[in-house]
Structure 1
Amino acid sequence: MSRDARWKALLELLVERGRLDVEDAAAELAVSAATIRRDFDQLAEQQMLLRTRGGAVVHGVSYELPLRYKTARQATEKQRIARAVADLVAPGEAVGLTGGTTTTEVARALAVRADLASGAPALTVVTNALNIAAELSVRPQFKIVVTGGVARAQSYELVGPLADGVLGQITLDMAVLGVVSFDVTHGAAAHDEAEAAVDRLLCERAERVVVAADSSKLGRRAFARICAADTVDTLVTDTAADAVTVGRFEEAGIRVLLV
């Protein structure tokens, strides 16, 4: 197992359990205890976990796994969701994309749509995510608008008041939200309040709002609220979503697409 794969596995185990012992982690990943100790020390130096005697714990109560370590989680479900979201976009529209692994997949799904292969432009994409802008900027059929702001290393998103100047002067046909959690009572939320603020502005500038979230995000709440549930027009999620939870969204007037 490569170091990156090992680190991703360790961080995901930490997110799931909150605490890991060196010996248990070594047995689970089939590597030596010395390797795990070295991994924990290096991850602690990057402030991605906290070292304890004999193990490690997550870094803080609102732990956020950096984007580069989240790409493999629920990957198949996210790709299905992304294709369904991309199908909701009409040629010539202006679409806002927040950062995140699912919205990155939405950008990729838009990039391969045959009916968007030409045009002047075929689509306008507004995003605060540097990775999404970089992937789509090589596609001449897309007009890419990037908000200003300060980049967050965890998500590659631009945040802060510099984004307000751009978002205050545009209108969008659709905003696509990648979220940490989505709940009928508590709405859509993120870990970071600065990200949530930019996402909220995207929602306010859009005619319709779509939440793209795998089923693990539903019925949960997170620290920083993006918007109320009644702001959202459509939820696109996977078929593993709890039927009762789906029913609550539908009762609240939200269209739910299960893919």
Structure 2
Amino acid sequence: MSKHERWSALLELLAAEGRLDVEEAATALEVSPATIRRDLDELAEQQMLVRTRGGAIAHGVSYELPLRYKSARHASEKQRIAAAAAELIGSGEVVGLNGGTTTTEVARAVALRAGSSRRDAPDHLAAPALTVVTNALNIAGELAVRPQIKIVVTGGVARPQSYELVGPLTVGVLGEVVLDVAVLGVDGMDPHLGVMTHHEDEASISRLFAQRAQRVIVVTDSSKMGRRAFARICGLDGIDVVVTDSGIPAAMTARLTDAGIKVVAV
């Protein structure tokens, strides 16, 4: 197992458990405790965890993995969620996408649908099947080569954790566009506080996406239900649809439905 693979595995374990024990991690990864200690020391130097006596703990209220380490978590659920969300987006609509692993899957799903509808259209129809406005560099990179999609990228300062652009330049662009639908990935959904993310600058941009859209779709796997993160995006009254997996607790489904939100569980 390479160092990168070990680090990914350690961060996955930490995200799931909230803490790591050196001996237990060494057994799970089939390496020596000394190797695990070195790995944890290096990850702590990068501020990706906090070292403790005999192990490590996660940072913060709700632990944030860099996007490159999160891509494999709940992968099948996220792909099903993305496919269901793509079904809710009509041809020719203007779609806003914030950053994250689930919205990245949504971008791929809508690109496939847009490509299919473009092939079925008469040759003389040259208009894009879809317009996507995003502040996520990785989503923009994937969609830029798709001729059936018009891609609009906000300006801003890139956050290395999530590849999202934030700041006044981002706000300036979003203030000049009108969206049919905003599809938002989140880090937490609380029945009282609404939807949240780890960083206030990302939260403010996601909030602006929601404000510029006629309808708002939140896409998130059920592990985020009942979880809180540092920065609030908006309350439940700012959401129209939640697309999640079948693991969503019945009480949360009832709370969202009572708030007038359509729940799609796949």
Question: Does the CA-based 8 Å contact 2:62-2:228 persist in structure 1?
Answer: no
Q: Aligned residue for 2:78?
A: 78
Matched residue of 1:211: which SS?
A: strand
* Residue 13 (structure 1) shift: 1.9
**Residue of structure 2 equivalent to 1:69:** 69
CA distance, structure 1, for counterparts of residue 251 and residue 55 of structure 2:
38
Q: After superposition, where does 1:21-60 map in structure 2 within 5 Å?
A: 21-60=21-60
Q: Find the partner of 1:249 among 229, 252, 256.
A: 256
* Unpaired stretches in structure 1, ≥5 consecutive residues: none
Query: Which range moves more in the overlay, 22-31 or 100-109?
Result: 22-31
CA deviation after TM superposition for structure 1 residue 160, in Å: 1.1
Cα drift, residue 61 of structure 1: 4.2
Q: Given residue 240 of structure 2, which amino acid in structure 1 is its aligned partner?
A: D
Q: Deviations over 1:157-191 (max 9, x none)?
A: 00111111101110000000000112231111101
Indicate whether 1:16 and 2:23 are aligned: no
Q: Give the 3-state SS of the residue equivalent to 1:208 in structure 2.
A: strand
- 2:117 corresponds to: 115
Instruction: Note if contact 2:204-2:233 (Cα within 8 Å) is conserved in structure 1.
Output: yes
Distance apart, 1:53 and its partner CA: 3.5
1:225 aligns with one of 223, 232, 236: 232
Q: Distance in 1 between matches of 2:234 and 2:118?
A: 30
Question: Match for residue 155 of structure 1?
Answer: 162
State the alpha-carbon separation in 2 of the partners of residues 177 and 88 from structure 1.
Answer: 13
Q: TM-score, normalised by structure 2?
A: 0.93
For residues 72-105 of structure 1, what are the alpha-carbon distances to aligned partners after superposition, in whole Å with 9 as ceiling and x for unaligned? 1111000000001011111111000010000000
TM-score, length of structure 1 as denominator length: 0.95
**Are 1:200 and 2:207 counterparts?**
yes
Which residue does the alignment assign to 2:146? 139
Residues 167 and 202, structure 1, Cα contact 8 Å, conserved in 2: yes
- Give the match's secondary structure for 2:184: strand
Q: For 1:225, what is the secondary structure of its paired residue? A: strand
Q: Note the C-alpha offset of 1:107.
A: 0.5
Please give the alpha-carbon distance, in whole angstroms, between the structure 2 residues aligned to 1:62 and 1:87. 30
Q: Is the 8 A contact 2:133 2:152 kept in 1?
A: yes
CA contact (8 A) 1:110 1:116 kept: no
Residue type at the aligned position of 2:171: D
- Deviation per CA, 1:115-156, whole angstroms, max 9, x where unpaired? 145741111100000000000000011111111111111100
Does the residue aligned with 2:171 lie in a helix, a strand or coil?
A: helix
More deviation in 60-69 or 137-146?
60-69
Q: Is the 8 A contact 2:61 2:229 kept in 1?
A: no
Q: Give the match for residue 177 of structure 2.
A: 170
The one-letter code sitting in structure 1 at the alignment partner of 2:8 is K
How many residues align structurally? 259
**Are residue 130 (structure 1) and residue 132 (structure 2) matched?**
no
For residues 116 and 86 of structure 1, what CA distance do their matches in structure 2 show?
15
| Percent identity of paired positions between Structure 1 and Structure 2 | 66
Closer, same or farther: CA 189–79 of 1 in aligned 2, 3 Å: same
Instruction: Measure the CA separation in 2 of the matches of 1:108 and 1:2.
Output: 29
Q: Is the 8 A contact 1:211 1:236 kept in 2?
A: yes
* C-alpha deviation, 1:25, in angstroms: 1.0
Whole-angstrom CA distance in 1 between matches of 2:59 and 2:190: 25
1:152 partner letter? R
